[in-house]
């Protein structure tokens, strides 16, 4: 069964000193590189690599996750990077299936590999969209279901996967200009140590009103 509850995620983070690479998402870096830094929201912030990268590049970041272990690890890493970085990030312990971000507040809202059951995911995407300020950017990235055909570790639950078009379908069409609706390939190393190609669903849109 995939890990979906808070205690299981805490346990997963406790089991290793680092679950993720520590590098920011290449999709986020590409998008943010063209933006004037402002207020950003990063949901499912994990070990904090994206939030810290954004703070390093001048953003004020609200980073949300329900794993206390991940949040503490992230905050410690941010402090190691410097007090000026740490001060720009607010770490929030919230369950994204019921937390409602403040509406129209963020210049950039990012969800990287935040996989939920379909109903919860659609609700989250609508709430995230509402939290984007007029003129701001919504970036949602997920593992593509085709990764299940590879030897890379992924939950074998097709419902957890979405396409960029699924994200678009959750948004009010009149308020958004879609900038990216793609499946992007990238290289990784699979469970047997072989180089392999995986795919990400990438959705980026600008709020127009
Ligand atoms: C696959 S990890 C992605 C972490 C990070 N975004 C990255 O790309 O490295 C998913 C993260 O979402 C968090 N998460 C899962 N379900 C959640 C929920 N309902 N509320 C808040 N956080 C959740 C987990 O604790 C985990 O840190």
How far does residue 92's CA lie from ligand 1's centre (Å)? 12
| Beta strands 39-43; 195-207: pairing state | unpaired
**CA distance linking residue 114 with residue 141, whole number of Å:** 8
In the structure, which protein residues have their CB atom closer than 6 angstroms to any atom of ligand 1? Answer: 9, 20, 25, 44-46, 65-67, 70, 95-97, 112-114
The total of other beta-carbon atoms located within 10 Å of residue 9's CB is 20
From atom 11 of ligand 1, which residue's Cα is the shortest distance away? 44
Domain ranges of the chain: 24-207
How far does residue 94's CA lie from ligand 1's centre (Å)? 11
Q: What pLDDT score does 192 carry?
A: 83
What is the number of the ligand 1 atom nearest to the C-alpha of 49?
A: 9
Q: What pLDDT score does 32 carry?
A: 97
- Angle among Cα 37, 179, 45 to the nearest 5 degrees reads 50
How far does residue 44's CA lie from ligand 1's centre (Å)? 3
What is the number of the ligand 1 atom nearest to the C-alpha of 95?
A: 20
DSSP SS3 for 100: coil
Q: What string of pLDDT tens digits covers the 209 residues of the chain?
A: 566 899 999 999 999 999 998 999 999 999 999 999 999 999 999 999 999 999 999 999 999 999 999 999 999 999 999 999 999 999 999 999 999 999 999 999 999 999 999 999 999 999 999 999 999 999 999 999 999 999 898 999 999 999 999 999 999 878 999 999 999 999 998 878 899 999 999 999 999 98
How far does residue 66's CA lie from ligand 1's centre (Å)? 7
In CATH terms, is domain 24-207 a member of 3.40.50.10490?
Answer: no
What is the number of the ligand 1 atom nearest to the C-alpha of 67?
A: 25
| pTM reported for the whole predicted model | 0.96
Nearest to 69 by CA among 80, 61, 77, 79: 77
Extended beta strands in 83-163, E state:
89-93, 106-112, 132-143
């Amino acid at each position: 069964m995939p890990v979906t509850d808070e205690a299981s995620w805490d346990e997963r983070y406790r089991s290793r000193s680092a679950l993720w690479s520590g590098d920011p998402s290449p999709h986020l870096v590409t998008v943010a590189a063209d933006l004037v830094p402002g207020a950003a929201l990063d949901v499912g912030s994990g070990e904090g690599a994206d939030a810290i990268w954004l703070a390093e590049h001048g953003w004020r970041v609200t980073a949300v996750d329900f794993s206390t272990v991940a949040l503490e690890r992230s905050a410690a890493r941010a402090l190691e990077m410097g007090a000026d970085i740490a001060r720009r990030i607010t770490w929030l312990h919230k369950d994204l299936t019921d937390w409602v971000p403040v509406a129209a507040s963020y210049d950039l809202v990012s969800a990287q590999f935040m996989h939920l059951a379909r109903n919860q995911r659609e609700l989250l995407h609508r709430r995230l969209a509402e939290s984007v300020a007029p003129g701001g950017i919504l970036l949602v990235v997920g593992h593509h279901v085709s990764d299940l055909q590879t030897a890379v570790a992924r939950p074998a639950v097709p419902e957890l996967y979405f396409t960029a078009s699924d994200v678009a379908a959750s948004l009010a069409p009149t308020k958004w200009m879609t900038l990216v609706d793609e499946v992007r390939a990238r290289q990784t190393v699979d469970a047997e140590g072989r180089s392999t190609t995986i795919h990400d669903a990438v959705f980026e849109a600008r709020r127009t009103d």
